[in-house]
Amino acid sequence: MEWEVVIGLEIHAQLATTSKIFSGAAIRYGAAPNTQACAIDLGYPGTLPVLNEAAVRMAVKFGLAVDAQIAPRSVFARKNYFYPDLPKGYQISQFELPVVSGGHLDIDLEDGGHKRVGITRAHLEEDAGKSLHEDFHGLTGIDLNRAGTPLLEIVSEPDMRSAKEAVAYMKKLHALVRYLEICDGNMQEGSFRCDANVSVRPRGATRLGTRCEIKNLNSFRFVERAINFEVERQIDVLESGGQIVQETRLYDSVKDETRTMRSKEEANDYRYFPDPDLLPLMIEPAFISTVRATLPELPDARRARFVSQYGLPDYDAAVLTTTRELADYYEQLVTQAPADAKLAANWVMGELAARLNEENLDITESRVSTAQLAGMLVRISDQTISGKLAKQVFEVLWTEGGEADAIIDRLGLRQITDTGAIEAMIDQILADNPAQLAQYRSGKDKLFGFFVGQAMKLTAGKANPAQLNELLRRKLDAE
């Protein structure tokens, strides 16, 4: 039987506020345990939560960016469950009336097409603390620094049909929240994490199959691998006559498998109810307007502009706008070396990206500044150096720093563009290789490359290739 895969994602984006969602405690990552947990975060009696305005602002900003409705009135609810890293015995979240609903995000497919993924809702909630299970002689250590950290939970429609599509959606969302500056997107620190709802059904069926939820996937690679594993598992179960049990599963990246975490049969019934400690959140049109005014140019718009303004192919524009920082780097570079925008794109996507990748660096940590790279691009454009020799200049810029002009002089990489000098050299080469010359002239065209090679050898690659080709052709075909 042919199976169709159905995937929906729930993504938790930690909002980039300086204090918690309901208290004035700090949320700096990596602080000593429990030094950022105040009486409100600890659930002490007599405390009351007060909502952080920046968190609301960020949720609205997200809603506007995905073309969603911003609820004029939304309500906080208590999600009740017992776990030691949840000191109040409930998580403050939103249930029936979330702040954002009904948006969408367009993703690129591998075949070059596009797909619109629905965003069901996005709601504000607080994070729980952390449990540490090691090293405490049979006890569990609890760190409540993270308790009360603001999260935006972004829930998609079950619109994705493969692990690749799910990853494309997640990457697009990741880029978006960083463009919006509402989330730092640091997946290792858990600032952006994903739960995947996965089911399969016979192709053509309209009813959804029973789904499993895979929890806490904190890298794009794990999302893809976990979904692929889970799809295989479900198909195996169904094809051997079994039934899928609705349950929560954990992905084990070491064994590359998912396994049961808890089954929904005795699942948590969270007994949601409106939190009496919090009044309804009312969002006025004026508030939405002020947030709208802070929206930056969004990735899709920037990509389209890169095509129209710089004449880049859509592929290049898509790659260069993957992150706001990369797009900023590119635009700064083009401002400094405006002669050839495509050349700049090639270097950023080629040599620079390769070096960053090799050393596992972010574009903001690039060892070559836009000014340094621009200095070199200008010398390629004005033919001082060839693109091939520029790689040597780039290497020095990367490893030692400095300025392109000084490096070109020091390494003697200036292109030979003096027609007289090139001609004299060609005459010499033809005189030194009479046998090859005779063969060429008797029709062995392939030997053209031999003469080019000789010239490049004599000039250590510095002869201007276009000039050399032209002059050489003229001399060889002279008789």
Partner 1 sequence: MSFTIETVRGIAHLARLAVDEPELEAYTQVLSRSLDLLAQINAADTTGITEMAHPLDVAQRLRPDAVTEPDVREACLAQAPAADAGLFLVPKVIE
* Closer to partner 1 by Cβ: residue 277 or 395: 277
CB distance 71 to 101 below 8 Å: yes
Q: Work out whether 162 is an interface residue with partner 1 (CB under 8 A).
A: no
Comparison of 39 and 371: residue with beta carbon closer to partner 1: 39
CB atoms inside a 10 Å sphere around CB 55: 25
Residue whose token pair is 């948006």: 103
Q: Does 368 bind partner 1 (CB under 8 A)?
A: no
Long-range contacts (CB closer than 8 Å, 24 or more residues apart) made by 236-243 = 238/3, 238/200, 238/209, 239/1, 243/210
Please give the Cα distance from 12 to 446 (Å, whole number).
61
Nearer to partner 1, 31 or 301 (CB): 31
Of the candidate spans 4-12, 135-143, 335-343, 412-420, the one that interacts with partner 1 by CB under 8 A turns out to be: 135-143
65, 144, 152, 163: which one binds partner 1 (CB under 8 A): 144
User: Which of the stretches 127-135, 221-229, 230-238, 451-459 binds partner 1 when contact is defined by CB under 8 A?
Assistant: 127-135
The yes or no reply on residue 366 touching partner 1 (CB under 8 A) is no
Tell me whether residue 36 or residue 454 sits nearer to partner 1 (CB atom). 36
Counting beta carbons within 10 angstroms of the beta carbon of residue 105, is it exposed (0 to 12), middle (13 to 18) or buried (19 or more)? buried
Longest dimension (CA), the chain: 102
Considering only residues 228 through 267, tell me which ones interact with partner 1, judged by CB under 8 A. Answer: 261-262
**Could you tell me the smallest distance in angstroms from the CB atom of residue 136 to partner 1?**
6
Tell me the closest approach of the beta carbon of residue 99 to partner 1, in angstroms: 11
Smallest gap from Cβ 125 to partner 1, in A, equals 15
Site string for partner 1, 276-315 (x = CB under 8 A): x-xxxxx---------------------------------
> Measured from the CB atom, is 15 or 404 closer to partner 1?
15
Pairing relationship of beta strands 69-70 and 247-252 according to DSSP bridges: unpaired
Instruction: Among 190, 274, 402, 465, indicate the residue that binds partner 1 (CB under 8 A).
Output: 274
Q: Does 42 bind partner 1 (CB under 8 A)?
A: yes
First CA to last CA distance, the chain? 72
Stretch that binds partner 1, among 46-54, 62-70, 352-360, 415-423 (CB under 8 A): 46-54
CA 426 distance to own-chain centroid: 51
What residues between 57 and 86 interact with partner 1 by CB under 8 A? 75, 80, 82-84
Taking the complex as a whole, the smallest distance from the CB of residue 81 to partner 1 amounts, in Å, to 8
Q: Which is nearer to partner 1, 81 or 315 (CB)?
A: 81
From the list 9, 13, 25, 128, which residue makes contact with partner 1 (rule: CB under 8 A)? 25
Contact window for partner 1 (CB under 8 A) among 19-27, 190-198, 341-349, 470-478: 19-27
Binding segment for partner 1 among 44-52, 178-186, 418-426, 471-479 (CB under 8 A)?
A: 44-52
For residue 23, give Cα distances in angstroms to 18, 37, 48, 50, 98: 11, 9, 9, 6, 21
In angstroms, the CA 264 to CA 213 distance is 10
Three-class secondary structure of residue 183 per DSSP: coil
Q: Is 205 helix (H, G, I), strand (E, B) or coil?
A: coil
Helical ranges in 311-447 per DSSP H: 314-320, 324-336, 341-347, 353-358, 370-381, 387-399, 404-411, 419-432, 434-441
Q: Which of 51, 235, 304, 378 binds partner 1 (CB under 8 A)?
A: 51
The span from the CA of 294 to the CA of 63, in Å, is 13
- Residue of 4, 10, 54, 439 that binds partner 1 (CB under 8 A): 54
Q: How far is the CB of 42 from partner 1 (least distance, A)?
A: 6
Helix (H), strand (E), coil (C) string for 358-396 = HCCCCHHHCCCCHHHHHHHHHHHHCCCCCHHHHHHHHHH
Token pair listed for 238:
């169904």
Distance of CA 386 to the CA centre of its chain: 33
Minimum CB separation of residue 148 from partner 1 in Å reads 10
Task: Pick one of 131, 290, 335, 383: the residue that binds partner 1 (CB under 8 A).
Answer: 131
CB 140, min distance to partner 1, A:
5
Which amino acid would we find at residue 148? G
Contacts of 470 (CB under 8 A, 6+ apart): none
> Which residues are CB-neighbours of 384 under 8 A, at least 6 positions away?
408, 414, 415
- Closest contact distance (angstroms) between CB of 259 and partner 1 is 11
CB of 5 to partner 1, least distance (A): 27
The stretch near partner 1 (CB under 8 A) out of 132-140, 323-331, 418-426, 464-472 is 132-140
Residues forming the site for partner 1 (CB under 8 A): 17-19, 23-26, 32-40, 42, 50-56, 75, 80, 82-84, 97, 131-133, 136, 138-144, 261-262, 268-269, 271, 274, 276, 278-282
